[in-house]
A and B are shown apart, each in its own frame.
Chain A
Amino acid sequence: MSIAPETAARVAKLARIKVEPEALPALAAEFNTILGFIEQLNEVDVDGVEPMTSVTPMRLKRREDVVTDGDRQAQILKNAPDAREGFFAVPKVVE
């Protein structure tokens, strides 16, 4: 599997990360190095092996249906570049 600069541009766009065109080949090359490393794993025969989801025998932790959080509007909005009347204010997005 090889990542072309166009694919790198598409991934960047989907993640809404601005990448200058001249930086794309280097980014694609980096992707390829990572994927190449991961592709080594394909050499291992895992037929009939159940995927391991945890290294410890743990059950998915559950919570009760009780309201224990919230009412912290000021804290939630604190890092927002712009907030008005309790809302996050973002550049206009409309369908």
Chain B
Amino acid sequence: MLDLTYETPKPRVISGAKQDWELVIGMEVHAQVSSNAKLFSGASTKFGNEPNANVSFVDAAMPGMLPVINEYCVEQAVRTGLGLKAQINLWSAFDRKNYFYPDLPQGYQISQLYHPIVGEGEILVEMGPGVARLVRVERIHLEQDAGKSIHDMDPNMSFVDLNRTGVALMEIVSRPDIRGPEEAAAYVTKLRQILRYLGTCDGNMQNGNLRADVNVSICAPGQYEKYQATGDFSHLGTRCEIKNMNSMRFIQMAIEVEARRQIAIVEAGGEVVQETRLYDVDKNETRSMRSKEEAHDYRYFPDPDLLPLEIEQGWVDDIKARLPELPDAKKARFMGDFGLTDYDASVLTAELDAASYFEAVAQGRDGKMAANWVINELFGRLKKDSLDITDSPVPPAQLGGIIDLISSGDISGKIAKDLFEIVYTEGGDPAQIVAARGMKQVTDTGAIEAAVDQIIAENPAQVEKAKQNPKLAGWFVGQVMKATGGKANPATVNQLVMEKLGL
């Protein structure tokens, strides 16, 4: 069973010139559905193809072309909903959102305003061990992405590529439950993690496959609680929407600067105007997107080309039965089964590939030791080479082999690190390498004793000093380790040195 006892984090408070202010944040995340073909056409969704190569006559909105829905995209939306413990609507419908832009040949985006496919769900956003906020998801709907305009290829013209036009997006809308910039970034991080576990979105923010619109408002302390108790938004401040954020760092910076802008307006006796704003990274400021405001009249109406989307409960149940283990459950299991700390379990479950790797190493071994080796040695080494866990030159079985050699006392922890480096750079079976290169730890007390005796005999002056100051015994341990090429068992060496020196 999942242990979901946690403390709620404190909201971020910003001190204005006159009083303290709290932040209230809601998010709309656009996640590109992982699929081969587009939402309503048979054109490819592949990134990086020749411009306008992934375009069918449906995407180009040629007269007479009709949309036919990609059933897998629907399945992906349902899977996402189930992963967020959300209500699945067996009856949903598509609407047209009308606006004019060169990268939207239809002149409207097919979306789901009135009847989304997924209803209320939730995301547990962890802010540290035992501290988390349960953010409510209001809805998820399916919609088409727009094309891409490139403005810097010609001084007088914009270039339009329709490859992305019509690719399926899930818009995941949260309630205004997020209370600070860090929480906002943590929310997107957690949502991205769940989507990646589910395989419904690859979460690639750089390519724009996951981007967020952030709604920010400020309120006096105590107001948010009134909103929560009544559901009445009038207790909160007027919100502004910052569009199209695709970096965790910029999301935080934009919220911070936007909140301060609103505080300055309100404290000067002014009023925040509800509007869409754009974050300028270079100037670290948000500014009004007036052009967007003008076109805000979307004139939604049901799409006459598409019948309502009706799905069967049995189909939903079948998708649910095949859901993978999700991050919260996996983390709890890692803590329970392998005795990991909250922190280690979080690190290891952040990415599914890393979690699977760890599990393969930890199977039948000491979980904490496996976690240490994966996190400290392997992750550290991979990071140095900018490699992904999937590109690791050391497969789980070999890392497991190294750990086995430590556990059996065949090698010391220090030698194990050398061995890891050899396996990492040269490959090979750890046990064979240890045997072939004579790296085995010397546990034979006789051999170690001889080495200790020799060092003592060769250094009478040091012996005298050590007798005065027992701390210097460490020097002898070091010398013996050096003489044995690091293969002597450090504990045995230490014990013998102390005995021989009479300390």
Point out residues on A near B: beta carbons under 8 Å.
10, 14-16, 53-54, 58-73, 76-77, 82, 84-95
B159 in complex: contacting residue of A54, A68, A70, A87, CB < 8 Å:
A87
The answer to whether B151 and A92 touch across the interface, beta carbons within 8 angstroms, is yes
A85 contact set on B, CB distance < 8 A: 51, 153, 159
Q: Across the interface, do B71 and A65 meet the contact criterion of CB distance under 8 Å?
A: yes
State the Cβ distance, B59 to closest chain A Cβ, in Å.
8
| Given A71-B53, A76-B55: A93 touches B102 (CB 8 Å cut-off) | yes
Contacting pair A68 B42 (CB below 8 A): yes
A73 touching B156 in the complex, CB below 8 Å, given contacts A16-B100, A63-B42, A65-B73: no
Whether the pair B55, A60 counts as a contact (CB closer than 8 A) is no
Give how many A-B residue pairs fall within 8 Å (CB-CB): 139
Bound-state Cα–Cα, A19 to B68, Å: 35
Question: Does B69 reach chain A (CB closer than 8 Å)?
Answer: yes
Contact stretch, chosen from B250-258, B304-312, B399-407: B304-312
Choice from B44, B93, B98, B101 contacting A70 with Cβ under 8 Å: B44
12 extra interface residue pairs, beta carbon distance < 8 Å, beyond A65-B70, A86-B53:
A14-B98, A14-B100, A14-B295, A15-B107, A60-B308, A65-B35, A67-B44, A73-B51, A88-B52, A92-B155, A92-B157, A93-B102
Residues of A within 8 A of B278 (CB): 95
Do B36 and A60 have beta carbons less than 8 Å apart? no
- Knowing A64-B72, A87-B150 are in contact, say whether A69-B156 is a contact too (CB < 8 A): no
Interfacial chain A residues near B107, Cβ < 8 Å: 15
Judged by DSSP, the binding face of A is: loop
B355 in the interface (beta carbon within 8 A): no
Instruction: Report yes or no: B161 in contact with A87, Cβ–Cβ below 8 A.
Output: yes
In Å, the complex CA distance between A90 and B161 comes to 11
B interface, how many residues as a size bin?
A: 35 or more
Cα A58 to Cα B43 with chains together (Å): 25
Of the candidates A14, A59, A67, A93, the one whose C-beta lies within 8 Å of that of B158 is A93
Residue of B nearest to A90 (CB): B102
B392 within 8 A of A: no
Q: Is B50 an interface residue (CB 8 A)?
A: yes
B207 within 8 A of A: no
Given contacts A54-B307, A60-B310, A88-B160, contact A70 B54 (CB under 8 A): yes
A-B contact pairs, 15 of them (CB 8 A): A10-B297, A15-B100, A59-B310, A60-B307, A61-B68, A61-B69, A64-B71, A64-B72, A65-B71, A70-B55, A70-B56, A86-B52, A88-B52, A88-B162, A93-B101
